[in-house]
Amino acid sequence: MKRKILLLAAVVMCVSIIASGTLAYFTSEDEVHNVITTNAVDIQIEEWQETENGLVPYPKDNPIAVMPGATVSKIATVKNIEAEAYIRAKFEVVVTGADGGIMELSPETLTSIVTLTMNDESWLRKDDDGEWWYYNVPVEVGASTEAFFTEVVFDGSNITNEYQNCTVEITVKAQGVQTANNGSNVMEAAGWPVE
């Protein structure tokens, strides 16, 4: 009897081992890999000059020689490359003296000798945002803004001999943020890059 119980126990044990091995075949594992692609905001500053031959790219490598009282055509726009975007831009004017050093000029002095003809119909300013100008409508993919400014004016009466052989450089900086889920207009938009 003892032998039968032992044999029965051995058989039950074997069946258990076989059953547990069989159960392993009924388990399953799965992994889901979701890919979410986001759009990017990509913009490009364009600079043009109005000539007798029409609109041409602004000459970057050949500085334009000017005399006091001159007005130079320089048209800056911002092109949107990818994803509808709100655009803002600012400019900086730097005067380099004949000795090659940057001239330290007060904002008042600088604006008395060099001014830009701004497009203040298409570009707006926030009272609390200093130098930035905001383009008043979203810019579609592949489209460009209206001109940010169109001319650089050198005031003849304020450009004295100390400015002979100087170089004036105007640098434009622009930023773009998505329009999707980002306010109802450019003035409400958030997420502008930190400088």
**Local confidence pLDDT in tens for the 195 residues of the chain:** 555 555 555 555 555 555 555 544 555 565 655 555 556 789 999 999 999 999 999 988 787 888 899 999 999 999 999 889 999 999 999 999 999 999 999 999 999 999 999 999 999 998 777 799 999 999 999 999 999 999 999 998 889 889 999 999 999 999 999 999 999 999 999 999 887
Kindly report the pTM of this predicted structure. 0.77
Annotate the chain with three-state secondary structure. Answer: CHHHHHHHHHHHHHHHHHHHHHHHCCCCCCCCCCCCCCCCCEEEEEEEEEECCEEEECCCCCCCCCCCCCEEEEEEEEEEEECCEEEEEEEEEEEECCCCCECCCCHHHHHHHEEEEECCCCEEECCCCCCCEEECCCECCCCECCCCEEEEEECCCCCCHHHCCCEEEEEEEEEEEECCCCCCCCCCCCCCCCC
